[in-house]
Amino acid sequence: MKRDFDNQIVVITGAARGIGFAIAEAFAVSKATVIIIDVVPDAVEKAVAKLQSVGAKVFGYVGNVTDSAGIEALFAQIMAEHGGIHCLINNAGVTRDNLLIRMKEEEWQLVMDINLKGSFICTQKAFKHMMKARKGSIINIASVIGLMGNAGQANYAASKGGLIAFTKSCAKEFASRNVRVNAVAPGFIETEMTANLSAEIRAEYAKVIPLQKMGSPVDVANLCMFLASDASDYITGQTIAVDGGLTMQ
Ligand SMILES: NC(=O)c1ccc[n+]([C@@H]2O[C@H](COP(=O)([O-])OP(=O)(O)OC[C@H]3O[C@@H](n4cnc5c(N)ncnc54)[C@H](O)[C@@H]3O)[C@@H](O)[C@H]2O)c1
């Protein structure tokens, strides 16, 4: 999909690799000003270098989504240097899988802090700027696990289920300011996060996915482009799955 995002400033967290990087690449190709925020400095540098070959306006910032003061300062810097934040994509996320009986409090807390609190922090800081502009699109990268649950992922499922409820509440709160908030729920997508799955597990997953294959980060990026664009002007508070039909209602 190619759209024209000229003069649109799109901020993507956790975009140094994986799904976030694919989203950044799609927007860069579509002429957006792309702002990558990630916690790993080397990875930010490499991602920006790669993307500058496809888009002229790609900028990287090192930031941790759980650091409220740091994100506030970073968003103020982005406003000063680029003049706006039209779209925020809360993509930074981690897993710390364990059966509940063995799950350590640190494993629970880290996943909640990055996946849920990090999205709250970035949303709050971005909305301050979007409400003044009376326009904006916020996209939360949730997961089908937040809809269906999964054994060994109670922390991750709770964080993504929480993110879906957070999306609906923000959509209601921000609608009068013309700021839309939607969630994207990817299914099984080929990235570093899923690279260590065995061939057997992949085959098992493929059996339950109606389209019988894993998705690609580009599939997620395509939906983000639609939700960021005016083509989705009347859509807010929704959770849209990109999952090959896995969770169809
Ligand atoms: N891969 C999948 O199959 C899949 C499925 C459903 C949902 N998701 C979600 O998509 C998002 C991206 O997943 P991915 O597979 O690309 O993961 P990934 O691990 O490949 O990339 C995550 C990125 O987030 C960054 N990050 C981690 N903690 C951060 C923090 N505190 N502040 C800023 N950046 C931070 C990492 O450095 C990394 O670059 C996540 O929210 C994940 O939960 C992934």
Q: How far is the CA of 50 from the centre of ligand 1 (A)?
A: 19
219 inside domain? yes
Q: Which of 11, 51, 67, 91 has most ligand 1 atoms within 8 Å of CB, for mutation?
A: 91
Q: How far is the CA of 3 from the centre of ligand 1 (A)?
A: 24
171 inside domain? yes
Q: What does pLDDT average to over the chain?
A: 96
Residue identified by tokens 């839309």 is: 180
Backbone φ/ψ region at 190: left (φ over 0), alpha (ψ -120 to 50), beta:
beta
158 inside domain? yes
Q: How far is the CA of 121 from the centre of ligand 1 (A)?
A: 16
pLDDT at site 163: 99
Atom of ligand 1 nearest to the CA of 19: 16
Told to judge if 156 belongs to the known catalytic residues of this protein, a careful annotator would answer yes
Give me the CATH number covering residue 95.
3.40.50.720
pLDDT at site 198: 83
4 inside domain? no
Atom of ligand 1 nearest to the CA of 64: 32
For 122-157, how does the pLDDT look when each residue is reduced to its tens digit (9 = 90+)?
999 999 999 999 999 999 999 999 999 999 999 999
Percentage of residues of the chain with pLDDT beyond 70: 99
Q: How far is the CA of 85 from the centre of ligand 1 (A)?
A: 21
Atom of ligand 1 nearest to the CA of 193: 15
Q: Helices 18-29 and 41-51: crossing angle, nearest 10°? A: 30
For 7-64, how does the pLDDT look when each residue is reduced to its tens digit (9 = 90+)?
999 999 999 999 999 999 999 999 999 999 999 999 999 999 999 998 779 999 999 9
Decide: 196 in ligand 1 pocket, CB within 6 A: no
Q: The pTM is what?
A: 0.97
Gap between the Cα atoms of 87 and 205, Å rounded: 33
2 inside domain? no
247 inside domain? no
Closest CA to 27 of 11, 45, 47: 11
222 inside domain? yes
Decide: 159 in ligand 1 pocket, CB within 6 A: no
Closest CA to 189 of 140, 244, 129: 244
Decide: 18 in ligand 1 pocket, CB within 6 A: yes
Residue 144 belongs to what domain range? Answer: 9-242
- Per the structure, the count of domains in the chain is 1
For 218-246, how does the pLDDT look when each residue is reduced to its tens digit (9 = 90+)?
999 999 999 999 999 999 999 999 999 99
120 inside domain? yes
Decide: 60 in ligand 1 pocket, CB within 6 A: no
Three-class SS state of 180: strand
